[in-house]
Amino acid sequence: MVDLRKLRALRAVADHGTLAKAADALHLTSSAVSQQLAALEREIGHAVLEPNGRTVRLTGAAHVLLSHADSLFAQVERMEGELAAQDATPRGEVRVSGFPTALASLLAPAVAPLRAAAPEVRISVREAETDESMLLLVNREVDVILSMECRSAPRHDDPRFHREELTGDILDAVLPDAHPLAGEARLDLAALRDETWIAPPVGWSCDEVFMAGCQRAGFTPRIAHRSGDWQAVMRLVAAELGVSLVPRLGHGGTPPGVTIIPLTGDPPKRHVFAACRGGAESNPAVRAVLDAVVQAAA
């Protein structure tokens, strides 16, 4: 019988490319991961890694294991969920991670309905960007994530995850009140090509959306400032340090001195979703949290 912990170690190597990165993701030492994989090789009678220059690559046997591993992980999650469903009342802790505006605008409004529908379900909350949330979910450190579509997000057809779409969070132009275009009802993003920009931090999911939107409009923005706090971004705009794009979930408490203008055409949009490990959606407590968040986003 193959130990699921060893399969998870192999999956981590496949996902992250090296033993060291897999060990970091699993919060283990490289030696511990190597020992798990060596034990796995003894169990199946085949090597799972082979040298590839200065690194390693998966063998054919490893690919066979991984082709079945994800469905096994989902079946275990489903089994645990169905066992939990034997109790008629959803109960227990559900750990949630997400990016700040999703926590503020989607999770927080879901708390009161969740308490009314499932009073014995407790949630614990952790702020994390999409890439970190994905690691937390895979490592079973959280149960539900609120994330946005980006390179690190789970694919729709990835059996390791169950996704529920929440909202398309459109980005609007934010200009100082004194800007010559501040009186426009709508703006073509290309009209701002020569502006100085305030953008999200490099590597953030929203920065991908921001940059992709500018590139579709035919320009590369001249970025002078970066902040991941939308209130800070809008106050920097009010101080006339530049212009920006701010998602509608981040509009709350718009400060004086700025004008928010919708963009014409196909504006940049954050596709926000909730996800859990595949099979975990059958757990009544997880299901209750997902339902509450979906309703809050409606």
The per-residue pLDDT for range 13-25, each reduced to its tens digit, is: 888 888 888 888 8
Instruction: State how far the Cα of 115 lies from the Cα of 92, in Å rounded to an integer.
Output: 12
Q: Rounded to 5 degrees, what angle do the CA atoms 107, 110, 114 make?
A: 125
What amino acid is encoded at 68 in this protein? H
pLDDT tens by residue, 77-86? 888 888 887 8
Query: Does the pLDDT of residue 1 top 80, yes or no?
Result: no
Q: Which CATH number does the domain housing residue 37 bear? A: 1.10.10.10
> In the block, which residue shows the tokens 């703006």?
187
Torsion angle defined by CA atoms of residues 16, 19, 20 and 21, in that order, rounded to the nearest 10 degrees = 10
Residues 196 and 259 in one domain: yes
Which residues form the domain of 97?
A: 90-166+272-297
For residue 285, what are the contacts with CB-CB under 8 A and spacing of at least 6?
A: 84, 90, 91, 92, 93, 94, 118, 121
| 132, 280: one domain | yes
In a shared domain, residues 97 and 124: yes
DSSP E strand boundaries for 70-210: 92-98, 121-127, 144-148, 161-176, 196-199
> Are residues 266 and 209 part of one domain?
yes
Q: Which residues contact 259 (CB under 8 A, 6 or more apart)?
A: 174, 175, 176, 177, 179, 182, 183
Number of domains in the chain: 3
Residue 279 CA to residue 190 CA, distance in Å, equals: 44
Instruction: Check whether residue 156 and residue 62 sit in a common domain.
Output: no
Question: What pLDDT score does 110 carry?
Answer: 97
Segment (H or E) for 119: none
214 vs 193: CA distance, rounded Å: 8
Domain boundary among 64, 82, 100: 82
Q: Look at residue 131 in the predicted model and tell me its pLDDT.
A: 85
Among 82, 98, 129, the domain-final residue is: 82
Q: What is the mean pLDDT of residues 17-39?
A: 87
Please give the pLDDT value at position 106. 95
Q: What are the C-alpha distances in Å from 104 to residues 111, 123, 151, 173?
A: 11, 14, 23, 21
Distance between CA 255 and CA 237 in Å, rounded?
A: 10
Contact 271, 78 (CB under 8 A): no
Residue 71 and residue 22 in one domain: yes
pLDDT number for residue 154:
64
Q: pLDDT for 151-205, tens place per residue?
A: 656 676 777 889 999 999 999 999 999 999 999 999 999 999 999 999 999 988 8
Judgement on whether residues 57 and 202 belong to the same structural domain of the protein: no
Which structure tokens are listed for 109? Answer: 């409004």
| Same domain, residue pair 292 and 155 | yes
Largest interatomic CA distance in the chain: 72
Q: Decide if 99 contacts 146 (C-beta within 8 A).
A: yes
> Do residue 206 and residue 282 come from a single domain?
no
What CATH number has the domain bearing residue 242?
3.40.190.10
175 and 263 assigned to the same domain: yes
Q: What pLDDT score does 174 carry?
A: 98
Contact 243, 237 (CB under 8 A): yes
CB-based burial, 135-160: b 16+ in 10 Å, e otherwise: bbbbeeebbbbbbbbbebbbeeeeeb
pLDDT at 53 over 80: no
Same domain, 176 and 252: yes
277 and 133 in a single domain? The answer is yes
For residue 135, the model assigns a pLDDT of 86
Choose the final residue of a domain: 82, 111, 136: 82
